[in-house]
Structure 1
């Protein structure tokens, strides 16, 4: 599957939830459930929004790391999803520069689209 097609599929909450289940990482799932609760999102919504934020906000270094992970992975799709989710979790759990900030970049997030 091409990266663009994967990102498109992840934008659908149902496909995103299925992808999350396929990872089989209970620690990652627990983190996503907790962060989703904070942002009033289901796990599927969190995954879908995390992939959108990655596509829009990831640095060149983040993309290079992603491409390297894809090249080295037995399952490139799982590598992409895992990398994007861990990136989003790191941003969402980092101290916000302004009150109420999240990784969507809005600075005062009141939800995601």
Structure 2
């Protein structure tokens, strides 16, 4: 699967929600639910926004790091979502507003 396909799938709310749940990472799930609630959107909408924000704002170094992580990953969608959420949580994209 190509990176563009992964990103396109994760910008769909239903797919993004299912990917988060399938990760089995309760900490990530709780953090994303809190952020979604804080922004007044559903978990899927927040996850999709996170991936779009990452795709629109990540530096070329971050893209290089993502590509390396994807090459070592058994689940590229989960890896992309985890990196996107980590990117947004670090405040790199804090000026962007969550939109449905």
Number of equivalenced pairs: 100
User: Which one has more relative contact order, counting CA pairs under 8 Å at least 6 apart?
Assistant: 2
Q: In structure 2, what is the Cα distance between the partners aligned to 1:7 and 1:72?
A: 17
In our comparison, the structure showing a higher alpha carbon Rg is 1
Please, which runs of 5 or more residues in structure 1 have no aligned partner? 95-100
Match of 1:21 in 2: 21
Cross-structure match for 2:99 = 112
Q: Return the alpha-carbon distance in structure 1 between the equivalents of residues 77 and 38 of structure 2.
A: 27
Q: Where in structure 2 are the equivalents of 1:70-109 lying within 5 Å?
A: 70-91=70-91, 102-104=94-96, 109=97
TM-score (norm 2): 0.88
Q: Over aligned residues, Cα RMSD in angstroms?
A: 1.8
The TM-score, its normalising length taken from structure 1, stands at 0.79
Aligned to 1:56: 56
Q: Is contact 1:10-1:48 (8 Å) kept?
A: yes
Q: Which runs of 5+ in 2 are unaligned?
A: none
